[in-house]
Structure 1
Amino acid sequence: MIVIKQNPEKDVYRNLLDLSFEICDQFHLVLRKDMGPLTTYEPILKRLENSLIVMKEESEWASTILGSGQTALVYYYRTDANANKVLTEVTNSLYDWVQPHLPEDLSFFKQGKEWLVTISHEKESYIYTEDEYEIKKVMGIKGLKLEIDR
């Protein structure tokens, strides 16, 4: 596991997203129903609509397990050019993906397995890979502060 030690911002954020889109085939965004009106997010959801695979009401996603019967709306998307463009135009920081400003916990998946997992409100993120090529590519992102935890 690779621990991201500092919020990826600006070029570091864009380069991390580009690599995530290269390696992964899906990502998700989460809307917690207990965090205010969901209509606030309609503009970004509309922009991502063509990349949407499915929306599920779930109590568990890559970085969180809710308790006591709570659920959230989890939107799963393809990693395509449209989605990459939207994610880089909406913000320039990985930890900006937190309600009430944006959907939460942008996380990426490679063949159904968690690859980049973000807990935005905790300012935590992790990359799960043992692939040496992927590790080399992640380590090559200039300005990305990392710690490898093996």
Structure 2
Amino acid sequence: MISIISEPKNDVYRRLVDLAFDLCDEFILVVHKKYYSDLNDNAKFLLEKLNDYLIEMKEQSEWAGTKLLGHTAYIYHYHTSPEAREIVKKVSNSLYSWMYPDLPEDLSFYKNGKPWLVNTAHEEQSFIFSEDKSEIDKIMNIKGLKIRL
């Protein structure tokens, strides 16, 4: 497991997102059920804009990095398409800005059904799960990305 020890912002964020889109086949966004009706227009517009890439939306109390007690959230699963990549890079300049009410929460990536980049934005914690040497080299070569192996 690789810990991201400083928030990826601006170019570092964009390079990390590019790598995640290159390596992964799915990404998720989270909207807590109790906050769904209070999302701001920006977050609603984003969900609408990503609708063409939606695989499924599930109501769950648990996903990579998070376990809720007593309530649920809507987990949106998306294909990692080139168009979705550009949308994700345009709407935010940092990994931890993926928070209610401005955006859906916890942008995270999955590879072959397994968590690859797990982001818990409100706790400012992110982890990458990879044992592939070439992937780890690519991660380590993202200029400005501060990590701990």
Normalising by the smaller structure, the TM-score range is: over 0.9
Map 1:89-100 to 2 at 5 A: 89-100=90-101
Map 1:38-53 to 2 at 5 A: 38-40=38-40, 41-53=43-55
Give the deviation of 1:76 after TM superposition.
0.2
| SS of residue in 2 equivalent to 1:141 | coil
TM value normalised by structure 1: 0.94
Give the deviation of 1:35 after TM superposition.
3.1
Please list every run of at least 4 consecutive aligned residues from structure 1 whose deviation after the TM superposition is greater than 4 angstroms.
Answer: none
Aligned-pair Cα RMSD in Å: 1.1
Structure-1 separation of matches of 2:51 and 2:15:
23
In structure 2, the partner of 1:137 is: 138
TM value normalised by structure 2: 0.95
Q: Percent identity?
A: 49
- Going from structure 1 to structure 2, the CA distance change for 1:7 and 1:130 (only over 3 Å counts) comes to same
In structure 2, the partner of 1:103 is: 104
| SS of residue in 2 equivalent to 1:118 | strand
Instruction: Name structure 1 gaps, 5 residues minimum.
Output: none
Instruction: Indicate which of 51, 65, 72 corresponds to 1:63.
Output: 65
In structure 2, the partner of 1:12 is: 12
Structure-2 separation of matches of 1:126 and 1:35:
26
Structure-2 separation of matches of 1:35 and 1:50:
23
Give the deviation of 1:38 after TM superposition.
4.5
| SS of residue in 2 equivalent to 1:56 | strand
In structure 1, the partner of 2:37 is: 37
Q: In structure 2, what residue type is equivalent to 1:61? A: W
